[in-house]
C-alpha cells in the first residue's frame, strides 16, 4: 500500500523502498527558544530548522505551532508558508484545531499529511471532512473517547474503525497512516512490546503504512538515547515505515536498519550518506581552520 505525499515540486512515496523520515523539530513542545520566537511571530528559527532538517536527510517535515496562548489559526499558516518557501519537501501539518488546519490547508501546494486524528467521535467528525475536502493523507492515532488502550486488540480495533470511517467517506484507504502510540516502558514493562505487536497486526490485517514517535518510551530512565535508538530499530523491524524523528540524530541508524532489512542494494544509500557526512565534517573543519 503506497501513500503519496507531495510539495509543489516533489513527491514522496511511503510504503516502497527505504524508511521515510518525518522531521520532528518544528514543534515548540519543550523548546523554549522556538516557543518564544513563535509567540513573537519571528519565523527565523522555523526557517533554519526546516533547512537543517532537510540537509540532514528529512523526507517530510512536521510543522507544529502549539504554544499555549498562541493564535494557531493565524500562525499555523504563517509557519507553513515559511517552511514551504524554505524547502521543497512535503509537510505534515500538525494540529487538531479544525480552523487552523483549514487555514493552513487552503494555502498548501501539493498533497500534505495531517497529523493527527484520533478515534474520538468529535475528532473524526470535525477533522475527516477536511482530509476529504483537501485530498490530504492523515495520521490516525489508536486512541478513542476512552483514552489510550493498553490492550493490543483494542488499539488494532481503533485502527480498523478509523480506516473504515475514512473509507466510508470516500477517503482512499492508503491515505490513512496509523500511529499505534508509544507509552513509557518504565511504568508498564509490557508497553513497548505491546506497541510492536499492535504495529505488526495493523500491517498484517490492514496493510496500512505506520508511523511512530519513539521518545516517550524512555521517559524517566537514564541514558535515553540507547533506548530510543534501539526501539526505533525494533519498530522499523516491526513495520514502521515513516517515523517522526530527530533526523540528524537517527539517520545513520535508520540507514543501517534499512540495509539490514534488504532495502539497500550494494549498501549504496548507507555508504553515500556516510561519505556526505564525512564531506560535511571536512568542510566544517576547513572553515574553522581559516583565519577570520
CA distance 235 to 196: 6
Among the listed ranges 67-75, 96-104, 240-248, 264-272, the one in contact with a second copy (CB under 8 A) is 264-272
CA distance 35 to 32: 5
Q: Is 204 a residue that touches a second copy (CB under 8 A)? A: no
Q: Is 291 a residue that touches a second copy (CB under 8 A)? A: no
DSSP β-ladder status, 60-63 and 91-94: parallel
Q: How far is the CB of 168 from a second copy (least distance, A)?
A: 36
Q: How far is the CB of 50 from a second copy (least distance, A)?
A: 26
Q: Is 264 a residue that touches a second copy (CB under 8 A)? A: yes
Q: Is 183 a residue that touches a second copy (CB under 8 A)? A: no
Q: CB neighbours of 248 closer than 8 A, spacing ≥ 6?
A: 52, 53, 56, 57
Q: Which of 68, 223, 285, 287 binds a second copy (CB under 8 A)?
A: 223
Q: Which of 157, 233, 246, 248 binds a second copy (CB under 8 A)?
A: 233
Closer to a second copy at the Cβ: 67 or 232? 232
Q: Which among 54, 47, 53 has a CA at the least distance from the CA of 25?
A: 53
Q: Which of 168, 262, 287, 292 binds a second copy (CB under 8 A)?
A: 262
- According to DSSP, the residues that pair with 5 across neighbouring strands are 12
CA distance 179 to 177: 7
Burial class (CB in 10 A: 0-12, 13-18, 19+), 23: buried
Q: Which of 61, 117, 185, 198 binds a second copy (CB under 8 A)?
A: 185
Q: Is 217 a residue that touches a second copy (CB under 8 A)? A: yes
Residues within window 27-66 making contact with a second copy, judged by CB under 8 A: none
Q: Is 170 a residue that touches a second copy (CB under 8 A)? A: no
Q: Is 190 a residue that touches a second copy (CB under 8 A)? A: yes
Angle at 3 between CA 110 and CA 196, to 5 degrees: 135
Question: Residue 289 is placed in which grid cell?
Answer: 581552520
Q: Is 267 a residue that touches a second copy (CB under 8 A)? A: yes
Among the listed ranges 44-52, 89-97, 172-180, 259-267, the one in contact with a second copy (CB under 8 A) is 259-267
Q: Is 216 a residue that touches a second copy (CB under 8 A)? A: no
Q: How far is the CB of 204 from a second copy (least distance, A)?
A: 14
Q: CB neighbours of 268 closer than 8 A, spacing ≥ 6?
A: none
Angle at 37 between CA 181 and CA 43, to 5 degrees: 90
Q: Is 261 a residue that touches a second copy (CB under 8 A)? A: yes
Angle at 26 between CA 22 and CA 32, to 5 degrees: 145
SS3 285: helix
Q: How far is the CB of 268 from a second copy (least distance, A)?
A: 9
- According to DSSP, the residues that pair with 12 across neighbouring strands are 5
Binding site for a second copy (CB under 8 A): 185-186, 189-190, 192-193, 196, 217, 221-223, 226-227, 229-231, 233-234, 237-238, 252-253, 256-257, 259-267, 270-271, 274
Amino acid at each position: 500500500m503506497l501513500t503519496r505525499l507531495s510539495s509543489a515540486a516533489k513527491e514522496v512515496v511511503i510504503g516502497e523502498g527505504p524508511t521515510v523520515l518525518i522531521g520532528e523539530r518544528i514543534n515548540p513542545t519543550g523548546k523554549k527558544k522556538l516557543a518564544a520566537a513563535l509567540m513573537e511571530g519571528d519565523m527565523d528559527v522555523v526557517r533554519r530548522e526546516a533547512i537543517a532538517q532537510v540537509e540532514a536527510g528529512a523526507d517530510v517535515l512536521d510543522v507544529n505551532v502549539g504554544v499555549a496562548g498562541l493564535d494557531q489559526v493565524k500562525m499555523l499558516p504563517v509557519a507553513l508558508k515559511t517552511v514551504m518557501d524554505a524547502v521543497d519537501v512535503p509537510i505534515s501539518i500538525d494540529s487538531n484545531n479544525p480552523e487552523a488546519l483549514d487555514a493552513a490547508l487552503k494555502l498548501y501546494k501539493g498533497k500534505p499529511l495531517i497529523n493527527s486524528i484520533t478515534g474520538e467521535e468529535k475528532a473524526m467528525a470535525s477533522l475527516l471532512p477536511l482530509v476529504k475536502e483537501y485530498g490530504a493523507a492523515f495520521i490516525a492515532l489508536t486512541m478513542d473517547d476512552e483514552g489510550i488502550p493498553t490492550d493490543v486488540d483494542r488499539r488494532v480495533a481503533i485502527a480498523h474503525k478509523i480506516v473504515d470511517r475514512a473509507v466510508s467517506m470516500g477517503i482512499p484507504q492508503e491515505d490513512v497512516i496509523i500511529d499505534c502510540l508509544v507509552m513509557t516502558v518504565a511504568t508498564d514493562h509490557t508497553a513497548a512490546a505491546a506497541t510492536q505487536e499492535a504495529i505488526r497486526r495493523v500491517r498484517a490485517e490492514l496493510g496500512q503504512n505506520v508511523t511512530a514517535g519513539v521518545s516517550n518510551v524512555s521517559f524517566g530512565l537514564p541514558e535515553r538515547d540507547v533506548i530510543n535508538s534501539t526501539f526505533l530499530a525494533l519498530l522499523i523491524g516491526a513495520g514502521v515505515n515513516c517515523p517522526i524523528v530527530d533526523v540528524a540524530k537517527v539517520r545513520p541508524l535508520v540507514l543501517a536498519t534499512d540495509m539490514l532489512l534488504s532495502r539497500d542494494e550494494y549498501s549504496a544509500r548507507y555508504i553515500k550518506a556516510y561519505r556526505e557526512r564525512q564531506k560535511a565534517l571536512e568542510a566544517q573543519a576547513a572553515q574553522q581552520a581559516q583565519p577570520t
